[in-house]
Structure formats: structure tokens, C-alpha cells
Amino acid sequence: MNRWRGFGTRKRDLDEEIASHLRMAIADRVARGATEEEARAAAECEMGNLPLAKDVTRETWGWVWLERLGQDVRYTLRQMRRNPGFAATVIGTLALGIGAAAAMFTVVDHVLLRALPYKDAGHLVQLQEGGRDAKTFFYTPWVDLAQWREQNRSFEDMAFSTGMSGRTYLAGNSAALLVGGTEVSENLFAMLGVKPALGRGMIAEPPGFGAVKNAGTIVLSDAVWRSAFGGDKGIVGRVVRLNDKPYMVAGVMPAGFRYPIDRGANGQVWTAIELGAKDQGRDYDSEHYEVMARLRRGVKLETASAEMATIQKRVAAQYQDAELREDHSVVQVERYQDSLIDTNVKRALLALLSAAGVLWLIASVNVTNLLLARSTARQREIAMRGALGASRGRVMQQMIVEGLVLSGCAAVLGTGLALGAIRLTGAVAPIHLNVDFSTHVDFTILAALCGLTLLSAVLSAAWPALIAVRAPIEPALKQGGQQAGSGRRHNRLRSGLVAVEVAMSLTLLVACGLLLRTIYTLRHVPLGYRTDHIIVANLSIPSYRYVNKNVTATLYQPLLERAQQLHGVQAAGLISEVPLGQTFNIMLSLRMNGNNIVAALKTASPDIQPIFGFKMLAGRYFNHDDTPTSAGVAVVNPAFARLYAPNKHDLNSLLGLTVWNLRKDTPAKIIGVLDNERQKAVDRPSQPEVEVCLCQITPGGSVYNPITMAMDLAVRTERPTAEMIPELRDLLRQASPELANSTFSTMDQIVEDSFGSQRLAAHLLEIFGGSALLLCVAGLYGLLAYVVTQRTREMGLRIALGAQRANLLWLVMRQAGAMLLLGVVVGVGLALASGRLVRGFLYGVKAHDGGTLAGAAVLLFLSGMLAAYLPARRAARVNPMEALRSE
């Protein structure tokens, strides 16, 4: 039997079969002597309701559902054509909700649930040593991690790595390429479970002193291989130059492989760690490594943590220096995945995801309300279908198909919106947030989107359909017309839904208001320095060129002199990191005057003070009398003074104290206290900081190497930024070609960027809050407009009986006011309850800030009343004669 034959063919077959039956019945009767007409009438009478017979027959094929689905879809499309405004409203509303949710989901998925390019990444952990206070963690010296490797039973394998210091340049076929370089232990790739795509990579060899098999070899990332060597398949075995040192290429990793995840946008390279003299001890000079390990199958993170705690007790006891012993007393074992996500960003994204979810809910409620109103208007149609024999299930199915078609269109539109929104988000997201917005909606997202769509279809179509279907048929048919009672219950339900919408919108508006106030407050925090007319270049320094030279004398000083001579430059200065730059961090840990001191270390040239307009709270800043040969000088900040000044009330008591020795026999003495509050973030006070004079940083000095690795050039100029930047870039290129890669910004922009997650959240919430307000107003308007149309006759009657038009206006407005008021009251409650979610991002304003709450409530209430006014006016203008006659 031909079960899979086309439905159309089978349908024609059945028609023909029944027709032949009829013909034979007629032919028989004619043969018995009846006339043709009599025979036909009798045969038809005997055979009964043929379409129904066919229908029932077709049901036995199990195909009918498909046929009906087709009918329903066609019917829905007809409905949409007939009432395009309604369809557009529903589709637009849902698309907005779905789009917002999908966009946020894409970003969150990408950031939080990002799949790492390693095998079984869930088993990878990072191990860090830290103090008992569990605030700061440090990388690990070789002697410690060698003991971990020997003694642990929790890990399958343990590997370690360290980022190459300074900027790393790889000489490619045509030009030098800035790459992210990492020195790794030979087993790292094997532990990550990734094999090279070309070559054999690093050779297995027990790590330790004298391990040489991998010395001088380099592994390239796919991106580097392609951009620097044009994807040359014969690259393995060739010698390439990294920072001007020769390395032999041992392999190319597969595309998409990265380690560490967030280093080197242009591509990465890896060389083998060679242990040396600095790896033999546990002191301040020791090399420290990032340690990764793979948990054995079946070993829990807690078990591994507990084992490491036991091991570390023995390890820490071997530290000679008491302070270091404290700093390395515990081991933190953290999943690598978790360690990658900034808690701040995570919180911001989750909060925004819930905001998008709320917007989606509002959209769904709005659409439910619209469909509900329409299903009431269609009560007569539904009753008629029932009367004509449609079963309840059949009517339900049709309504659900309508919902599905509408939300299907909305999903397509919403996906488009989501893509647009992601691009928009990418544009406002600050760079240092380290969130990659260049994502496309992928399969997971589409699946989630389909889920959302189905859910919203069922939500918004099934419910009104259920109510419509339950309604008894007779009264709807008997009363006829639109005036047929929508019933108190339905009205209350719809008013309730509007109130829910209002409440949720208010929550979003309040969150938005709070963040806008936060941004406003942040912009008006007194920074303690000027930010106008300053161009900042974060220098991309080819450190390798200056290995055996005095970089201060050969690069920095000449650069500064040339920059100062540039046309339109009022002052030029160098500083390790401009305030709020977030590009560089060196912590100094030492003893001064009997105190243990922890402070950030920076170096700067004298002109930095006039450029930024830093005030001196005591003493003086560096000046041109400070030279490499004069007495060592240092400047500290108020945070330093508050913690370490011998006399807390007199900053001058710090002056003349020795911070530490710049070189042997050259003590750096404090000569001033610089007011540089807000150096890391606008919403947090500064940490203690020590600045030393750039010209006094010379080779052989204690901090020469780390501190000359990073430098910002700051220039004060009245000329337009766009004009200055190319000139500055040229100047940098002349000093060294790699410097042309430096990134430029203005100080104003850096301040703006530092608002980071708050700014991102505020921008998105502006969109979400605005959309919510719009939906809410549209929902209210739609409902009232509908109610007024339904009550036209009642209004006419009231006027005919002597009601004043103002009374009618008041009647509708009162109804709107009640809904709004209820919504606002619930919304205030919701906003207070959800304050916890946003509290972390607020600055200078409380989560339950009365002004913001009141402002949002008033805004919502007034917009709502405005939306209600239009239908109310229409109600008041009803012409009693027409209204009564129209029935």
C-alpha cells in the first residue's frame, strides 16, 4: 500500500472512488427503470453527507492534521492581511521582546558560557598561592610547583607558563608583527588536550633544570602562521626571529586555539620555559609561573583543594622571609573557566539579561492582552464556528496556529533586531571590559530563540483561546454584535495584565534611572586632575631593542624632547600609566620606617604635573634639577600618606623618609605628596602609590626592568585631536617603527571608558526602559481604545440620559488611573525588591532612591494618562444618535 503517496493524489483518488460509487448507484437505478434525475436524487439521498464521509475516511489516513494546519495557516494569513495594524503591533511587540532577549542571551552566552578551545575544559583548574586573607593571589615559583607536581594525587597533569615580558614582535615575511608571547612548560599543550595542526609541537621531556630538548623552538598560532607567513605549509623547521632572537618553528596550532584566552589579539606564539638561576629560590627575585592542572577523572574540585591545602602547609614552611611565607600560605584551586570571568562583568551581564527577560515578559503580556481583546471581539465568530460543528480542540488549534504564525514572524524580525542590537552594544562597550561583541547569533542562540518563540506563542495565544472557547455559544450568538458582554471577569483580567505590565516597566525604568544618576554622579566626581585637551598614547614599546641599552636615555628622553618641540604642544610628559588608564600595574612590597608597605609603583617625568594639573599637598614634584646623578627622589599620594605617614595629621612628616634604594647607595627620598585621588577607578579611592622620577631609572637599578616595560605619553595641546594624532604617530615611528602601533586616546575618553560596566548597563537599560515604557503605553492605549469601542452604545445611552461629556471622560480616565495606580504600587515594590541586582553598579545613589522611584513612577503615570486621554476623548465625543442607531 502506498502510504507515502502524496496527500493530493490520495485525496483525488478518494474523490474519484466515491464519484464512481455514485455513478454505479445511479446506473443501477436507471437500469431498473428510474429516470436519470430520480436516480441521482435517490442515490445521493442514500449515500448521505458525502464531504463528511470523505472527511472521516481521510482521518483514517492520519494525514488530516497536516491538512488542517495548512487551512489554519492560510486562514491566519488572511486575517493578517485583513487587519495589518493588529498584526504589525503584535509582531513588532514580540520582535522587540525576542530581539532584546536574544541579543542579551548571545552576549551572555558568549561571555559566560564560552566554550574553551581545550579538551574537557571543565576539568582544567588554575592554582594560585595567596595569603590567608584570600584577597591577593600570586603566581608560583618553580620550587613550589615542582613539589606540587611530585606530591599531588588529584591531578592528571600540571603545566605552567608565564607571559613574555614587554611587547613581543615576530619578524614575518614582510613586516614585524606584534604578537602575544607565552613561555610554557613542554606538557602544556598535551595537558590542554590539543595537538598541533602542523609539526609535532613540543617534545615530551621531564621538566627541570637542564631540560633542553625544546630550547630555541617556537610554536605558532594559526593566526600568526597565516598573517606572518602566508600559511606556508613548509614553515615547520624554519628559523624565525622573535624579538630579534632566532627560534626554530616546531609546530602550528589548529585554528581557534588560544592560550591564555585573553592575550594577543593579532595571534600568539609559544616558546619553552628554560629554568635558570632565578628558579632556584623563593624570594622577591624568583620567576613566578601561572599554574594549570587537569583534574583526574572523578576527583572533585573540593578534594583537590583539600589536598593542595595539606601540601601547601609543608611548602609554605620552607619560605625564609616571614612576609613571603604569609603571602604564599594557601593555595586557591579554581576552575579555569571561572577564573576568566570578571565578576563585575558577570554581574552586569546577568542583571542586563534579567532586564531583557523582563522586557520579553512585558512584550508577551502585551501581546496576550491584545489577543485577548481580539478574541473577545471574535467571540461571535468563534461561537459561529462552534455552531457549524467545529470542536473546541479545533478552534483552540486554529488560535494557537495564529499565535505561532505571528510569533514566527516576530522571531525572524527579532533575530534581525538582535543582530543590530549586538552591533550597537559592541559600539558602546568599553574596550577594557574585554567582552567580545563581534559574535553572530549561533545555533544555541537560535535554539533558545525558537524555545522563546514557542513559549510566547503558547503564552499569548493559548490563553485567550482557552477563554474564548470556554464561552458558551448561545448567548454570544443571541446577543450578537460587539456589545456582547466581554464580561466583568475578562475586563478585570485585562486590567490586571496592564497593571502587571506597568509594574514591570516601572522596575526597568527605576533601574535605568538609577544608572543614569550613577553615570551623572561619576561624571561630576572631582577627580583631582584636569582631563581636557590631553592626548594619551599608550606606547607599544619594542623592549627587545633596548635589552642592553639604557632605554630611558636612548628612547624616552629623546622622545620627550621631540614631542615637546612639536607644533601646538604645550607640554609633553611620560608616565607609566595615566590615571584610570588600566594598562599597567606594578605592586611594590617593602619595608619603610618599620612598616610593611604595599604600594603601586609608577615612574613619571616632571612635566606630568602641569599637564594633569595635579596639586601638591606637601613638598614638591619632580623638576628638571632631578637628574640621574642627583639625589634619589620619590613622590607619594594621599592614600600612601594616610596609611604610612609617621604623623597622620601632618603630611610633611613624610618628607625626607627613604622609601627604598633606587640603586646601591642611592636612597629614594620622599620629596612631596601628590594629590592624585581616583587613579584606578572614579568610584573607588586610590590605592597607595609611589612615583619615581623617570630620568633616575637607569639600568642596574632595582626596578629598571619592570618599570620601563610600559609607558604612556601624555601631551597637552590646544590643537584638535584628529590633527595631532597623525603627527604624534609619525614622531613615534621615527623613534622606532614598532611604536607606530601605539594606541591613542584622549584623557576625556579614558575617563569615560573607565565607567565601564555602568555605562554599558546604563545604555542598555535606556533601550530596555524606553521600550518597556513604549510597550506599556501602547498596551494601555490598545486596551482602552478597545473598551471604548465596545462601550460605544453604553456611552451613547449615558449621554442620551443626560450624562455630561466630562463625566464620560472621567469614567475612562478613572479606569486607566486605577490600572496605572495598581501597577505603580506593585512596581515600586518590585523595584525595591530588585534593587539588590543593581546595587553593585551604583555610585552616589542608593538602590531605593526616593527621587528616582518617584520620578519613574510619575513619568510612567503621566505617559499612561496621556495614552488614556485619546480613547477617553473619543468616548466623550460619542454622538448618542449614531451610537444608538448603529446597532
Partner 1 sequence: MKSEREVYRNRIELLQGTLDMLVLKTLQWGPQHGYGITQALRTRSGEVLQVETGSLYPALHRMERHKWIAAEWRVTEQNQRARFYRATAEGRRQLANDRSKWETMVAAIASILEA
Residues 388-407 that bind partner 1 (CB under 8 A): 388-391
Tell which residue, 524, 429, 519, 527, has the closest CA to residue 841. 519
Residue 370 C-alpha from the chain's centroid: 32
- Indicate the residue among 21 and 615 with the shorter CB distance to partner 1: 21
Residue 18 or 803 with smaller CB distance to partner 1: 18
The residue with cell 492520519 is 62
Query: Could you give the residue ranges of the DSSP H alpha helices within 170-221?
Result: 188-192
Question: Toward partner 1, which CB reaches closer, 55 or 887?
Answer: 55
- The C-alpha atoms of residue 236 and residue 252 are separated, in whole angstroms, by 8
Coil/strand/helix, residue 569: strand
- In 3D space, the residue among 662, 688, 685, 684 whose CA is nearest the CA of residue 674 turns out to be 688
**Least distance CB 472 / partner 1 (angstroms):** 15
Q: Is 837 helix (H, G, I), strand (E, B) or coil?
A: helix
Nearer to partner 1 (CB atom), residue 53 or residue 306? 53
Kindly determine how many residues on this chain lie close enough to bind partner 1 according to the rule CB under 8 A: 33
* 243 vs 241: CA distance, rounded Å: 6
> How far, in Å, CA of 291 to CA of 140, rounded?
7
Rounded to an integer, what distance in angstroms lies between the CA atom of residue 122 and that of residue 340?
13
Residues of this chain, 349-388, that bind partner 1 according to CB under 8 A: 387-388
Rounded to the nearest whole angstrom, what is the least distance from the CB of residue 16 to partner 1 in the complex? 7
Smallest gap from Cβ 44 to partner 1, in A, equals: 10
- Full DSSP string of 127-150: EEEE-TT-S-EE-EEHHHHHHHHH
DSSP annotation of 164: P
Q: Which is nearer to partner 1, 48 or 84 (CB)?
A: 48
State the binding string over 295-324 for partner 1 (x if CB under 8 A, else -). Answer: ------------------------------
Nearer to partner 1, 64 or 121 (CB): 64
How many whole angstroms separate alpha carbon 125 and alpha carbon 120?
A: 11
Residue pair 411/738 in contact (Cβ under 8 Å)? The answer is: no
Minimum Å gap between C-beta 48 and partner 1 is 6
Gap between the Cα atoms of 664 and 672, Å rounded: 22
Q: Which amino acid is at 485?
A: G
Shortest distance, position 6 Cβ to partner 1, whole Å: 16
Nearer to partner 1, 199 or 386 (CB): 386
User: Nearest approach, Cβ of 7 to partner 1 (angstroms)?
Assistant: 14
Contact track, partner 1, 38-67, x by CB under 8 A: --------xxxxx-xxxxxx-xxx------
For residue 379, the minimal CB distance to partner 1 (Å) is 19
Residue 51 or residue 298: which is nearer to partner 1 going by CB?
A: 51
x/- track of binding to partner 1 for residues 9-28 (CB under 8 A) = ----xx-xxx-xx-xxx-xx
Cis, bond preceding 260 (omega within 30 deg of 0): yes
Q: In angstroms, give the least distance from the CB of 389 to partner 1.
A: 4
- Give the x-and-dash track for 575-614 against partner 1 (CB under 8 A): ----------------------------------------
Among 3, 132, 470, 624, binds partner 1 (CB under 8 A): 3
Q: How far is 287 from 146, CA to CA, in rounded Å?
A: 13
Would you say 390 or 845 has its CB closer to partner 1?
A: 390
Q: Which residues contact 514 (CB under 8 A, 6 or more apart)?
A: 838, 842, 845, 847, 849, 852
SS3 per residue for 51-75: HHHHHHHHHCCCCHHHHHHHHHHHH
Least Å from the CB of residue 401 to partner 1: 20
For residue 13, the minimal CB distance to partner 1 (Å) is: 7
How much of the chain is in helix, strand and coil states, percent to nearest 5? 55, 15, 30
**Cβ nearer to partner 1, comparing 24 with 203:** 24
Q: Are 202 and 189 in contact (CB under 8 A)?
A: yes
Beta strands in 42-166 (DSSP E): 124-130, 137-138, 140-141, 155-163
Nearest-angstrom CA–CA distance, 703 and 794: 88
Amino acid at 130: G
CB of 55 to partner 1, least distance (A): 8
Let me know how long the chain is: 887
Shortest separation between residue 34's beta carbon and partner 1, angstroms: 16
Cβ proximity to partner 1: between 18 and 458 the closer is 18
Q: Is 36 among the residues that bind partner 1 (CB under 8 A)?
A: no
In the block, residue with C-alpha cell 525576542: 98
Nearer to partner 1, 56 or 175 (CB): 56
Q: By C-beta, is 325 or 385 nearer to partner 1?
A: 385
Closest separation in Å from C-beta 21 to partner 1? 5
Which residues of this chain interact with partner 1, rule CB under 8 A? 1, 3, 13-14, 16-18, 20-21, 23-25, 27-28, 46-50, 52-57, 59-61, 387-391
